[in-house]
Structure 1
Amino acid sequence: MARSGQPAQEGGRNPYLLASLHRGLEVLDCFATRNSWGLADLASHLGQSKPTIFRVLHTLEQFGYITKEAASGRYVPGLRLHALGSAAVRHEQLRWQALPPLQDLAESTGETVHVGILHDGVIVTVQIVEGTRAVRMHSSVGKRSPAHASALGKVLMAYLPDAEVDAVVAAHGLTRFTARTITTPEALRETLHRVRLDGYAQDEEEIEVGLRCLSAPITDHAGRPTAALAISAPASRMDPERVTALIPQVKATALRISRMLGSPSMVAA
């Protein structure tokens, strides 16, 4: 029988499983049940040799995930592991606290609304409420979108240092999806500057012809834009007059979520 937390395998060994990474994750899992471990106790608990577990512990220590206490010689969670845990808690808090405001906005507009974060240079949807219209934008939690072509991405990149924006572009490029997609660094910089001034961003059929989005930043307890809210609809329902009417609603909903997360103010308000 597989150890608790071990991925189930059918028909023998999983050919895609990295054994060394698997051992490292097993070691990290142990710190969820006990705050500190000695080398011998941990090796015995996992049924592995002490040299094998020592190498795993040494690697994790080098990257800051665990720390060895000088006085006791025992291993405890490191700052990097705490940071990962805190990030996970923040994202879950964002996901569920954003839900009631998203529901209200979806109900009042009839359009699909969603929240996303910038992760590894792409936008990841973390919460969504679909609209009530027969023709509407469909999405799902976990969906990944190109940052340069999405309203969510433009909002979040607008508040990054130039060097970080350049790193995103270097890693992912500026792929053309439609005739309206931004494909040059110069055009992207100009757009991000305008987003900072306006406090909102638009996707004007830049990922998919016929789909438009409007987005505003969500700020954390320190007032930093760490997520974004967007409303998406067919282009036929997003003419300039309606976009103008939706901007204050989208900003107000983003501000409401920010306040719920403890933000002192909306940076772009």
Structure 2
Amino acid sequence: MALRPEPTAPFHSVQHALRILEVVAKHSSGVSDAAIARDTRLPAHHLAELLRMLRREGYVEQIADGAYVGGESLRLLGSGGSDRGHAVEAKLQKALTALRDSVGAAVYLGRYVDGELKITQYADGPGIPKVNEWVDFRSAAHAMAIGKCLLTQLDHDGRRDHLSRHKTVRLTSRTTTSEKVLFRKLDSQPATVPVLDLQEYAVGTVCAAVPITAGHSVGCLGLSLPLEHAHRLRQAAYTLNREAAPMLLSLTI
């Protein structure tokens, strides 16, 4: 099966969204879309698309005269302490649930924390169950879309350290067990194209993942589908990549 998901750039969208929020933050009484366009120099169609996303996610609101002000999400995520932590977790879970419904697949938020792969949050449903963890995910990064996506974000020494603790054992007939081959695949993986797992971790399951790195934090967004839905993987992966921006924005603010 040869899949070539179309590349998108959630990172650029987030950078542009942050620029918009900076402009909005400077005008507590509201700022027009014309003024935002002037200050950010974003094309009208791109600005309109980002403002729709920011309104949908609660980062900005429109007041009576059509001007934009900061929204509830921006106030919550901009706060400090435990309130911010709970707000981020709730925001991410809501986004994962919406993404699950949008792509029709189980979706996951993966992190690389203290040298280990962790699935910190997920959303699944009837007919689209989460992957059965038949082998500890921490030991299977080399065979999983999420794991490989996280490894692509590590430097050479970081990958070496990980594989010194978790060997590239064969989990299915499709698993890459050669470290040399694995490193070559990781090095050649375009940052804006989803990483795929075509029955490498588990027979009967296909997966995709995209990076959502915020600052020094290494993370990714992933999805899984039963093999009988493999024909939907390309489109689902494209949607996953396109919808990564709101997730990344929640982690960045």
Task: Give 1:247-258 correspondences, 5 Å limit.
Answer: 247-258=237-248
Alignment TM-score, normalising by the size of structure 2: 0.59
Q: How far is the alpha carbon of 1:244 from its aligned partner?
A: 2.1
The letter for the 2-side match of 1:251 is N
Q: How far is the alpha carbon of 1:225 from its aligned partner?
A: 5.6
Residues 98 and 174 of structure 1, relative CA distance in 2, 3 Å threshold:
same
8 Å CA contact retained: 1:106, 1:130 = yes
Q: How far is the alpha carbon of 1:91 from its aligned partner?
A: 7.6
The letter for the 1-side match of 2:247 is I
Question: Structure 1 residue aligned with 2:198, among 204, 207, 212?
Answer: 204
Q: Which residue of 1 aligns with 2:98?
A: 104
Instruction: Measure the CA separation in 1 of the matches of 2:87 and 2:178.
Output: 36
Q: Which residue of 2 aligns with 1:58?
A: none
Q: Which residue of 1 aligns with 2:222?
A: 230
Q: How far is the alpha carbon of 1:175 from its aligned partner?
A: 1.1
Q: Which residue of 2 aligns with 1:217?
A: 211
Give me the CA root mean square deviation: 2.7
Instruction: Measure the CA separation in 2 of the matches of 1:90 and 1:122.
Output: 24
Q: How far is the alpha carbon of 1:90 from its aligned partner?
A: 9.0
Instruction: Measure the CA separation in 1 of the matches of 2:217 and 2:99.
Output: 20
Aligned residue for 2:170, secondary structure, equals coil
Percent identical: 24
Residues 119 and 175 of structure 1, relative CA distance in 2, 3 Å threshold:
farther
Residues 138 and 150 of structure 1, relative CA distance in 2, 3 Å threshold:
closer
Task: Give 1:1-269 correspondences, 5 Å limit.
Answer: 95-133=89-127, 136-138=129-131, 144-145=137-138, 146-220=140-214, 222=215, 224=216, 226-239=218-231, 242-262=232-252
The letter for the 1-side match of 2:130 is M
Q: How far is the alpha carbon of 1:148 from its aligned partner?
A: 0.8
Alignment TM-score, normalising by the size of structure 1: 0.56
The letter for the 2-side match of 1:178 is T
Instruction: Measure the CA separation in 1 of the matches of 2:222 and 2:173.
Output: 22
Aligned residue for 1:238, secondary structure, equals helix
8 Å CA contact retained: 1:158, 1:196 = no
The letter for the 1-side match of 2:220 is A
Instruction: Measure the CA separation in 2 of the matches of 1:245 and 1:90.
Output: 33
Instruction: Measure the CA separation in 1 of the matches of 2:197 and 2:114.
Output: 20
8 Å CA contact retained: 2:108, 2:122 = yes
Instruction: Measure the CA separation in 2 of the matches of 1:159 and 1:90.
Output: 26
User: How many correspondences in the alignment?
Assistant: 170
The letter for the 2-side match of 1:194 is S
Q: How far is the alpha carbon of 1:262 from its aligned partner?
A: 2.0
Q: How far is the alpha carbon of 1:144 from its aligned partner?
A: 3.4
Instruction: Measure the CA separation in 1 of the matches of 2:237 and 2:90.
Output: 23
Q: How far is the alpha carbon of 1:92 from its aligned partner?
A: 6.2
Q: Structure 1 stretches of 5 or more lacking a match? A: 1-85, 264-269
Aligned residue for 2:163, secondary structure, equals helix
8 Å CA contact retained: 1:218, 1:257 = yes
8 Å CA contact retained: 2:152, 2:187 = yes
For the pair shown, the structure with the greater C-alpha radius of gyration is 1
Q: Structure 2 stretches of 5 or more lacking a match? A: 1-79
Q: How far is the alpha carbon of 1:123 from its aligned partner?
A: 1.9
Instruction: Measure the CA separation in 2 of the matches of 1:249 and 1:179.
Output: 29
